[in-house]
Amino acid sequence: MSRYYTCLLYVALLLVAVPSTDAAIRQTKGDFEDRFRQLDEVLPTANSYRTAGGEPGHAYWQQKVSYEIDARLIENSRRIEASERITYTNNSPDTMRFLWLQLDQNRFRTDSMAELTQVFADSSRRGPKLEDRKEDKPPQISLDELRRQQFLADNETGYQIIDVRSGGSEMAHTIVGTLMRVDLSRPLGPGQAVEFTIEFAFNIVEEDAVSARSGYEHFPEDEREGGNDIFLLAQWFPRLHAYTDYEGWTNKEFLGRGEFTLEFGDYSVDITVPADHIVSSTGVLQNPADVLTRTQIKRLEQAEKADKPVFIVTPEEALDNEKEATKKTSTWRFKADNVRDFAWASSRKFIWDAQAYHQGGDVQPMVMAMSFYPREGEPLWSKYSTAAVIHTMKVYSRFSFDYPYPVAQSVNGPVGGMEYPMITFNGPRTDEQDDGERTYSQAEKRFLVGVVIHEVGHIYFPMTVNSDERQWTWMDEGLNSFLDAMAGLEWDPDIPWKVEPRDMVDYMKSEDQVPIMTQSDSVLRLGPNAYGKPAAALMILRETILGRELFDFAFREYSRRWRFKRPTPADFFRTMEEASGVDLDWFWRGWFYSTDHVDLSIDRIWKLRLDTKDPDIDFERRRQEEKDKPYSLIVERNRAERKLWIESNPEIRDFYDENDRFTVTNKERNEYRKFLQELEDWEVAALERALAEDKHYYVLEFSNHGGLVMPLILQLTYAEGDSEMMRIPAEIWRRNAKSVKKLIVTDRELTQVVIDPRWETADVDMENNHYPRRIIPSRIEAFKSPEREGLEQRDIMQDIKTELETPDKDEKKKE
Ligand SMILES: [Zn+2]
């Protein structure tokens, strides 16, 4: 807005509104809060490891931990027996006297902190259900919970640490819950490496019983005697905790929710399984000739040039496979470089398909996308899984960097969805019909495509951009949910993904919230808090605040800077701000550090009239205004009843009946002349120009009911019926975050203003976004009063005649 118009407005405002000083007073004392206060006092002080711009500093370091593992799956007892050789390289400037390892399997011990602190009514296992905490009803125990209790009572869980040894001599070690301290015989100085071995074993948990991110699933109805299993192995070997420049050892106990904080390293893993199993694993298979048939190897070569997935193990072969039994074993050897974890899956039930993705570039020009699934996943999996893996890489690489590894896999099993380097576990299944055909619902298809995109996406965040999952779930889940939404909407926008900011409204206005910046295990309602809300925030940042070009540049810069490194929240906030060139402290403060929501309202619009000061013009206008006012009903009816004295007695009319109060005299004309004479030349010029232009001046009054300051996205509709958009940055709220006024000067007559008409910002109340208010669109639903329920109301005579039906088994399994 130029200075020029400010002067004009002053003339007009004097006649219309008295400025209030209340707002100014509130800002200096009382409840004023500066929503634009810089975050530097909250973020950690920059140092040589991490710069104030959010980049790895000149002295950035991270440890390297490599593993050689020899593992054996004992199928009948569902047990892992293994030994590992760990090489720990100390790249820190510190000297270390001990190392801390993660013993995640110990979480399943009945005396673990996770089990002992499991809160009852925590029936969803991944966090208390809102309804359970609110309602004052007697506790109920679910069959899920009974199954879990029974499994843990019947099975010995947790690690057996058989031996810890370095250079031939035993190493002292101390187990603290899910942590194990190994004492070094000699201090490990900067730049030095130490090698040691651990021999260990554990019983694999049943995933469906304990919900473990890994475990076995049993198929008792398979033809093979004793049935079959799918084994998903993760958190299966003692691995190093991270040692970092900002926290030292990350020694927060594994409570089941906050995931993992890990170091990069190289892996060489030998996996011995029954000879008829197919193994999918992190890494690249080193000995295909030992474990695959010549046909399978040839099919893998075909997959390199195929334009759709090729079966490596066909459905018919898998079916034959799962009927057989063998006592033989074979050893699959995998190598994986620069990964932060290692997981694998094994079963004789697996169908296997593959298709190469030629992404080009020099990092990893060809990636083999593969899927492994039992017949229980068909026909859904062969159609969509590998395709979704490739789609994920295409979209994510555009937003970040080339997919960094030689393989990308999706494995079906009992885990709903979980990610590891190069391999993901995904749960969707199909239903068998009476005729043996298998079918699936649209929801199951959406689940499959969505979960594969999400979990494969995690291979970028946090498997490559290695954030601390134990501390900040949002750093991987939030960023990844943002990207999986982008990929989902690009896959097929007609699938109801429910991932846009508008879908977050109910959560944003709910009471049970903690800020996104809350440690993972303490978060209430993890899904919306750590997945949905940060994803919505990033979508708003991209589409509404920065625009795609600035956002995408900054997001790619963050990904590039922290690829194969360990970022903290501050590094993300600082990079996004620095690379976009836009101050975003207010945005991080509002969306990540507070529980405020968006609820902007347009309360009033004033139409200002510029008075000419010329009485010959203004008085006539005021006379007209008087005439335009609604006429008095009483007078109108009196006149109709001929009750007006002056009309029935015309002789009493005088001067004032001919000349009303808007009659101009020379007195007013002289005053006007004096007014003009006293004006400076520029003031006369401004006034004359404004009068000549005859523009419309509107003052729009906005208020903020939700707390979050946001841009004012305005749709202005004019008398001619067309409309235009006006986007006012959030900084308009900088001196008063509760209410602001905005002047709009236009040649045209304004008839309607709507805030955020495309529902971009998760505004929780759209009705106060309309001026004038609109008629609220809703649906008519015929309803009848609920019938009384109770033992007395049952029609027992009828019920007893009804045939007893057993509910479908799958129906019970759905949560
Ligand atoms: Zn996730």
Centroid of ligand 1 to alpha carbon of 232 (angstroms): 17
For residue 259, report the distance from its CA to the centre of ligand 1, in Å: 10
Distance 335 CA to ligand 1 centre (A): 25
Please tell me which residue, 612 or 563, carries the higher pLDDT value: 563
702: CA distance to ligand 1 center in Å?
38
Q: Give me the pLDDT at residue 799, please.
A: 64
Of the chain, the end-to-end C-alpha distance in Å amounts to 56
- pLDDT at residue 13, as a whole number: 39
C-alpha 484 to ligand 1 mean position (Å): 10
Determine how many CB atoms are found less than 10 A away from the CB of residue 405. 23
For residues 101 and 85, give the distance between their C-alpha atoms in angstroms, rounded to a whole number: 13
Centroid of ligand 1 to alpha carbon of 630 (angstroms)? 64
- Could you tell me the pLDDT band of residue 591, with boundaries at 50, 70 and 90? very high
pLDDT value, residue 784: 60
SS3 category, 304: coil
Q: Is 380 in contact with 430 (CB distance < 8 Å)?
A: yes
Dist. CA 486 → ligand 1 center (Å): 15
pLDDT for 49 beyond 80: yes
pLDDT at 564 over 70: yes
Cα 338 to ligand 1 centre (Å): 21
**Residue 565 alpha carbon to ligand 1 centre in Å:** 19
- Ligand 1: centre distance to CA 458 (Å): 7
Position 787 scores a pLDDT of 55
Q: Of 689, 710, 455, 686, nearest to 589 (Cα)?
A: 710
Q: CA neighbours within 13 Å on the CB side: how many for 337?
A: 5
CA of 385 to the centre of ligand 1 (A): 17
Tell me how far the alpha carbon of residue 454 lies from the centroid of ligand 1, in angstroms. 6
How many Å lie between the centroid of ligand 1 and the Cα of residue 631?
A: 67
User: Ligand 1 center to residue 610 CA distance, Å?
Assistant: 59
Enter the tokens of residue 83.
């030994």
- pLDDT tens, 418-455? 999 999 999 999 999 999 899 999 999 999 999 999 99
The whole-angstrom separation of Cα 236 and Cα 571 is: 31
532 C-alpha vs ligand 1 centroid, how far in Å?
11
Residues with CB under 5 A from ligand 1 (ion): 477
Cα of 268 from ligand 1 centre, angstroms? 26
Sequential DSSP letters for 530-564: IIIHHHHHHHHIIIIII-HHHHHHHHHHHHHHHTT
Sequence-separated contacts (24+) of 183-190 with Cβ below 8 Å: 183/97, 183/98, 184/96, 184/97, 184/98, 184/99, 187/95, 187/96, 187/97, 188/88, 188/90, 188/95, 188/96, 188/97, 189/90, 189/95, 190/90, 190/91, 190/92, 190/93, 190/94, 190/95
Q: In whole angstroms, what is the distance from residue 499 CA to residue 505 CA?
A: 11
Interval 637-657: pLDDT, tens:
999 999 899 888 989 888 988
For residue 284, the tally of other CB atoms under 10 A from its CB is 16
Q: Compute CA distances 575 → 43, 477, 514, 556, 710, whole Å.
A: 13, 19, 25, 10, 21
| Averaged pLDDT of the chain | 90
Ligand 1 centre and the CA of 10: distance in Å?
56
Encoded tokens for 228: 């079959």
Q: How far is the CA of 250 from the centre of ligand 1 (A)?
A: 21
Q: Residue 121: pLDDT above 90?
A: no
Residue 68 forms beta bridges with which residues?
A: 85, 268
Q: Could you tell me the distance, in angstroms and rounded to a whole number, from the CA of residue 477 to the centre of ligand 1?
A: 5
Report how far ligand 1's centroid is from the alpha carbon of 511 (Å): 24
Q: Does the structure show a pLDDT above 80 at 21?
A: no
Q: How far is the centre of ligand 1, averaged over its atoms, from the C-alpha of 811 (Å)?
A: 25
| C-alpha torsion 303→306→308→313, nearest 10 | -30
686 alpha carbon – ligand 1 mean position (Å): 61
The alpha carbon of 693 and the centre of ligand 1 are apart by a number of angstroms equal to 59
| 398 CA to centre of ligand 1 in angstroms | 20
Cα 287 to middle of ligand 1, angstroms: 32
Output the pLDDT for position 7: 37
Per-residue pLDDT for 3 more than 80?
A: no
Task: Kindly state the greatest CA–CA separation across the chain.
Answer: 130
pLDDT score for 315: 97
Query: How many A from CA of 80 to the centre of ligand 1?
Result: 26
Q: How many residues does the chain have?
A: 815
Pairing of strands 179-188, 173-176: antiparallel
Alpha-carbon span 522 to 516, nearest angstrom: 11
118 or 347, higher pLDDT: 347
Task: Identify the pLDDT of residue 512.
Answer: 86
Contacts of 628 (CB under 8 A, 6+ apart): none
Instruction: Give the separation between CA 32 and CA 379, rounded to whole angstroms.
Output: 60
Using the mean position of ligand 1's atoms as its centre, give its distance from the Cα of residue 451 in Å. 9
The whole-angstrom separation of Cα 281 and Cα 32 is 56
Cα 507 to averaged position of ligand 1 atoms, centre (Å): 19
pLDDT on residue 786: 54
Q: How far is the CA of 254 from the centre of ligand 1 (A)?
A: 17
How many A from CA of 456 to the centre of ligand 1? Answer: 9
Between 43-52, 75-84, 206-215, the lowest mean confidence (pLDDT) is in 206-215
CA distance 538 to 501: 9
- The answer to whether residue 541 scores a pLDDT higher than 60 is yes
Average pLDDT over residues 77-96: 98
pLDDT of 526 above 80: yes
Cα distances (Å, whole numbers) of residue 621 to 18, 672, 687: 22, 16, 18
| CA–CA dist 47, 570 (Å, integer) | 12
Ligand 1 midpoint to CA 381 (Å): 20
User: 453: CA distance to ligand 1 center in Å?
Assistant: 10
Determine the pLDDT at residue 796. 67
Task: Let me know if 588 is exposed, middle or buried by CB neighbors in 10 A (0-12, 13-18, 19+).
Answer: buried
Residue 21 CB coordination number (10 Å): 8
What pLDDT, in 10s, does the model give residues 159-189? 999 999 999 999 999 999 999 999 999 999 9
Comparison of pLDDT for 503 and 786, the residue scoring more: 503
Rounded to the nearest angstrom, the distance between the alpha carbon of 455 and the centre of ligand 1 is 6
Residue 530 CA to ligand 1 center (angstroms) comes to 10
pLDDT in tens, 245-303: 999 998 899 998 899 999 999 999 999 999 999 999 999 999 999 999 999 999 999 99
CA–centroid distance, residue 423 to ligand 1 (Å): 13
On the 0-12 / 13-18 / 19+ scale of CB atoms within 10 A, 5 is middle
Average pLDDT value for residue range 315-324 = 93
As a three-state string, the secondary structure of 28-61 is: HCCCCCCCCCCCCCCCCCCCCCECCCCCECCCCC
> Ligand 1 mean position to 514 CA, how many Å?
19
> Which token pair is 369?
């996308």
pLDDT of 111 reads 94
Averaged over 662-673, what is the pLDDT?
93
User: pTM (2 decimals)?
Assistant: 0.89
Confidence category of residue 19, pLDDT binned at 50, 70, 90: very low
